[in-house]
Structure 1
Amino acid sequence: MLHAVNELLWGPGTLALLLGTGVFLTLRMRLLPWRRLGYALRSALGREARQPGKDGVSPFSALMTALAASIGTGNIVGVATALVAGGPGALVWMELSALFGMATIFSESLLAVRYRRRDRQGQWVGGPMYVLEAAFERRNGGMLGTVFALFAVGASLGIGSMTQSNSIAGALASAFGLPVWTVGAVTAGLALVIILGGIRSISKVAAALVPVMGAVYLAAGLAVIFGNLANLPGSVAEIFRCAFSPRAAAGGAAGWMTAARWGVARGVFSNEAGLGSAGIAASAVDCADPVRQGYISMTGAFFDTIVICTVTGLAICCSGVLGTVDSAGLPVDGAALTILAFQTVLGPWGARFVSLSIVLFAFATIVGWEYQGEVTFTYLSRGRGRLLYRVAYALAAFLGAGLELGTVFAFADICNALMCGPNLLCLAAMSGEVCRAIRGKNTEKAVKFL
């Protein structure tokens, strides 16, 4: 049942809506998210972005919290799943979803910061639900905000908690033989200790964990690519051929449509452009300039998909393991496929490295997504029940450890699709305001040297 609903929601309509919104925003903003990527990267990684504020977390910490939520199993397991289901061309569609997704994330974050509010504890909170109220007046916007928040709470439990815990348990069970439920209990316990401290505790863990684990994983992935360098040109050619050629796969046009379906779906699962979640993390920042924070936030799609997912995809394709079958004659998929790719250069250590990378990436996602789910939950409950949600979130992590992977991914994809509707409607309605802001005089002065 879940898989049937998943296929229906992730049909051509949703793909066109996601990519179309990103294309529309990119063109309406005159390609400024692409043209000012250098400025965005300097703003995200510079010293000023790391300065902690008294009125919220630093811009760098907010970005790392958003990246913690997005850098997870999608970068390792999701990429492999997309390549097996959609062929090598799916990698191109993942990157396209990220390129146009930068404009989407920019818009989500700018609007979220502009329309954020103070909660009962005096902290900044924001996200699509508050922007929807501004876009469609309080009554209609409130209804749409409630719909979005319901889907976001479900997504936080599926994407943020159950899926990631499932991947952690599977990785440690296969690599070290650890019991699934024991891993689930430890994962839930550690996560609960961190999330009980709120956004400041979460952002500190994310700011410390994400850069280190990302750099180490990229170094290992590049080692695999260079170890199979002779296969790289042919693999890149095959990737583009399968992405666009009508003769790329069995079924003609259905071949590249399959690549697009899986590439965009897994791209969104990884970078979350179009879901509105990036704006929730951005709202907690101590930053008076919504435009600057929009630029900083949009680099998340660049780092997550265009950098990390591309390295994973190229490592799999140029290592020659794509299409490998197991003893039962079934295609090797998910983490097992990525492990095979890394083993071509790193040997037996490749399996352990990928397994530990999954553990760290997934745990970071569990911590990062909790804040986003908590903000949407408190929107529904009018500021009440924070502790209840945190305990329920940790419990979902425990239960998710023992669920079947396909069911968890199907549930996560469904929640992704359901979040998109209200958020993308909001972005379309507020696109004029976003364009006026990005073309403002202050922004022009800040980047006139580019």
Structure 2
Amino acid sequence: MDFNAWLVDVSGQIDGFLYTYILLALLVIVGIYYTIRTKAVQIRYIKDMFTQITEKKHVEGKRSISSFQALMVSTASRVGTGNIAGVATALATGGPGAVFWMGLMAIVGAASAFIESTLAQIWKVRGKDGEFRGGPAYYIHQALGSRGLGVLFSVLLILCFAFGFNGLQAFNATSALEYYLPGEAMPKAAIASGIVLAVMTAAVIFGGTKRISVITSIVVPIMAIAYIAIALWTTITNITWLPQVFALVFSSAFDFQSIFGGFAGSVVMLGIKRGLYSNEAGMGSAPNAAATASVSHPVKQGLVQSLSVYIDTLLICTCSAMMVLVFYVQDPAAAANLNGMPLVQMAVNNSVGEAGIHFITFAIFAFAYSSLIGNYFYAESNLRFIKGDSKALLTVFRIVCLLVIFYGATNSFDLAWNLADIFMGLMAIMNLIAILLLGKWALAALDDYSAQRKAGKDPVFVADSIPGMPKTDCWHLEEVRDFGEPPVKEYLDEAIETDYVGLK
């Protein structure tokens, strides 16, 4: 075994141990803990998740973005090639029951997503053009008082998303072309694909946060709607097969003999892993997008990001699962010999014909492209945390990121991807510990939000109203009042006059 193969093998073993025995348990425990502590906020406030999407920006600035745009940036990163090929792999490897556990963990994980995104809003910072930045590095620094740990988190995130996962997304997108091209033509096609993806990404990332949010606000909804439409068509046209599909899912999900016979590779474990890794709830990535939204209360964006988890897993991943499972019950012998992208392509071909294969190929590229942009957005926010607004450094960083995309499209970079998984695992552990330590402030913000909602008000957050809360860069009384729209100003004027929670 050569040295590179040895590194791939060792890093793969570390990756497997970290996720299976440490991170997965933490993610589940934290999700259940905050589901209980928030009284299932991810279920109680489902209506508010949708109403808050349309909230207008509360801070004007040429680069500030709306709640909906922040939702689309986070969804762009969550929804990638894993939602198509990854789900098929989980079903092929673990069994049809994986889809049940995947959905269950999306609901549980949405509580963690709420907490981390609310914290990101509370400890966000404002840039010179009115834009906001934030995320785990920022609340680790400000609320826990450790810039060093914040920098470490940022480094791990940059290595994971900008250099690891973006290479993986580019490679997966290019791999979808294998259906159309003979083996000898693939290297040239990969080079062309890498150039196209790099150029398209460059056109967006050199435009800054505002352009990123605008592009993702277009690409993500269009592709999600089209993908859901194909899945619905598959489901409706095969409606007589649905009883068999659901029977298969539930019998597999609760096959306890199989589950406890080899839990690490069981349908439960694979379903939980696929759900958590796909929606990234609690892993510390989506809060970087959540912090950028201009809203009147942190909880509003916490709820919106919980909705992003549902969009990713309960909607997109379930669509992939339904298409594959219909194929599975109709032609189990053919499905048993396929995995990953080929399984999805043949499943769609089974329902809508060859046109479905072309659509899936296009969907892979579109989802990969949106993920490239969303992942870069997270990396840039954390680079700015480390080094500020150095234009020269930012330009060099962008060029390096584009080279990684090109390289990823043309090479199977197994070691880098194993390392990216490890970096994300370490990053997630840091974030989960941080939100356990800081979660009480998100819970306090939720209580504040609920009290104002009960009083019939559009909630407005003032950090000074929460006793003992560590210093924040935003959310102070006069600042919130000055940037608020007229109804907010009137409400805060009244709050000052009535000695709102001792602020007078």
- TM-score, structure 2 length as denominator? 0.81
RMSD: 2.4
Q: Distance in 2 between matches of 1:374 and 1:223?
A: 39
State the match for 2:174 in structure 1.
169
Q: Distance in 2 between matches of 1:410 and 1:228?
A: 39
Residue 21 (str. 1) matches residue 30 (str. 2):
yes
Match of 2:118 among 75, 94, 110: 110
State the match for 2:437 in structure 1.
429
State the match for 2:100 in structure 1.
92
Q: Report if the CA contact (8 A) 2:97-2:249 is conserved.
A: yes
Match of 1:129 among 121, 132, 137: 137
Is the alpha carbon distance of 1:368 and 1:196 closer, same or farther for their aligned partners in structure 2, counting shifts above 3 Å? same
Q: Distance in 1 between matches of 2:206 and 2:404?
A: 16
Q: Distance in 2 between matches of 1:27 and 1:257?
A: 28
Match of 1:148 among 148, 153, 156: 153
Q: Distance in 2 between matches of 1:316 and 1:418?
A: 33
Match of 1:379 among 349, 374, 385: 385
Is the alpha carbon distance of 1:314 and 1:136 closer, same or farther for their aligned partners in structure 2, counting shifts above 3 Å? same
Q: Distance in 2 between matches of 1:64 and 1:331?
A: 36
Task: Please show how residues 305-324 of structure 1 align to structure 2 within 5 Å.
Answer: 305-320=313-328
Q: 1:40 corresponds to which letter in structure 2?
A: M
Q: Secondary structure at the residue paired with 1:288?
A: coil
Residue 228 (str. 1) matches residue 234 (str. 2):
no
After alignment, is 99-108 or 300-309 more displaced? 99-108
Match of 1:9 among 15, 18, 36: 18
Is the alpha carbon distance of 1:85 and 1:256 closer, same or farther for their aligned partners in structure 2, counting shifts above 3 Å? same
Task: Please show how residues 410-421 of structure 1 align to structure 2 within 5 Å.
Answer: 410-421=418-429
State the match for 1:38 in structure 2.
47
Q: Secondary structure at the residue paired with 1:401?
A: helix
Q: 1:27 corresponds to which letter in structure 2?
A: I
State the match for 2:292 in structure 1.
284
Residue 334 (str. 1) matches residue 343 (str. 2):
no
Residue 209 (str. 1) matches residue 216 (str. 2):
no
Q: Report if the CA contact (8 A) 1:23-1:100 is conserved.
A: yes
Q: 2:441 corresponds to which letter in structure 1?
A: E
Q: Secondary structure at the residue paired with 1:11?
A: helix
Q: Report if the CA contact (8 A) 1:241-1:248 is conserved.
A: no
State the match for 1:367 in structure 2.
373
Is the alpha carbon distance of 1:51 and 1:364 closer, same or farther for their aligned partners in structure 2, counting shifts above 3 Å? farther
Q: Report if the CA contact (8 A) 2:56-2:295 is conserved.
A: no
**Identical counterparts, % of pairs:** 28
Q: 2:267 corresponds to which letter in structure 1?
A: A
The superposition leaves residues 205-245 of structure 1 with CA deviations (integer Å, 9 ceiling, x where unpaired) of 01111111100000001111223322222222222232232
Q: CA deviation at 1:12?
A: 2.9
State the match for 1:391 in structure 2.
399
State the match for 2:270 in structure 1.
262
Q: Distance in 2 between matches of 1:99 and 1:218?
A: 20
Match of 2:205 among 181, 184, 195: 195
Q: Report if the CA contact (8 A) 1:324-1:332 is conserved.
A: no
How many residues get paired?
Answer: 438
Q: Report if the CA contact (8 A) 1:169-1:183 is conserved.
A: yes
Which 4+ residue blocks in structure 1 deviate beyond 6 angstroms? none
Q: Distance in 1 between matches of 2:351 and 2:378?
A: 38
Q: Report if the CA contact (8 A) 1:246-1:255 is conserved.
A: no
Q: Distance in 2 between matches of 1:230 and 1:50?
A: 47
Q: Report if the CA contact (8 A) 1:12-1:261 is conserved.
A: no
Q: Distance in 1 between matches of 2:416 and 2:101?
A: 23
Q: Distance in 1 between matches of 2:362 and 2:79?
A: 14
Q: 2:17 corresponds to which letter in structure 1?
A: L
Q: CA deviation at 1:369?
A: 1.2
Match of 1:344 among 350, 356, 359: 350
State the match for 1:355 in structure 2.
361
Q: Secondary structure at the residue paired with 1:10?
A: helix
Q: 1:165 corresponds to which letter in structure 2?
A: A
Q: Report if the CA contact (8 A) 2:65-2:131 is conserved.
A: no
The superposition leaves residues 73-128 of structure 1 with CA deviations (integer Å, 9 ceiling, x where unpaired) of 12101111211222222212221221112111111111111101134665321000
Q: Distance in 2 between matches of 1:262 and 1:305?
A: 14
Residue 301 (str. 1) matches residue 309 (str. 2):
yes
Q: Report if the CA contact (8 A) 2:126-2:132 is conserved.
A: yes
Q: Secondary structure at the residue paired with 2:262?
A: helix
Is the alpha carbon distance of 1:159 and 1:87 closer, same or farther for their aligned partners in structure 2, counting shifts above 3 Å? farther
Q: Distance in 2 between matches of 1:447 and 1:301?
A: 27
Q: CA deviation at 1:158?
A: 4.8
After alignment, is 394-403 or 408-417 more displaced? 408-417
Q: Distance in 1 between matches of 2:415 and 2:229?
A: 32
Q: 2:136 corresponds to which letter in structure 1?
A: P
Q: 1:43 corresponds to which letter in structure 2?
A: Q
Q: Report if the CA contact (8 A) 2:258-2:266 is conserved.
A: no
Structure 1 unmatched runs, 5+: none
Q: CA deviation at 1:291?
A: 1.1
Q: Distance in 1 between matches of 2:127 and 2:109?
A: 29
Structure 2 unmatched runs, 5+: 1-8, 459-504
After alignment, is 368-377 or 316-325 more displaced? 316-325
- TM-score, structure 1 length as denominator? 0.91
Q: Report if the CA contact (8 A) 2:100-2:253 is conserved.
A: yes
Is the alpha carbon distance of 1:278 and 1:447 closer, same or farther for their aligned partners in structure 2, counting shifts above 3 Å? farther
Is the alpha carbon distance of 1:226 and 1:409 closer, same or farther for their aligned partners in structure 2, counting shifts above 3 Å? farther
Q: Distance in 2 between matches of 1:181 and 1:41?
A: 42
Q: CA deviation at 1:341?
A: 0.9
After alignment, is 227-236 or 197-206 more displaced? 227-236
Q: Distance in 2 between matches of 1:283 and 1:244?
A: 39
After alignment, is 172-181 or 397-406 more displaced? 172-181
Task: Please show how residues 72-83 of structure 1 align to structure 2 within 5 Å.
Answer: 72-83=80-91
Q: Secondary structure at the residue paired with 1:430?
A: helix
Q: Distance in 1 between matches of 2:272 and 2:241?
A: 26
Is the alpha carbon distance of 1:188 and 1:411 closer, same or farther for their aligned partners in structure 2, counting shifts above 3 Å? same
The superposition leaves residues 148-185 of structure 1 with CA deviations (integer Å, 9 ceiling, x where unpaired) of 11211112125641111111111134346661111011
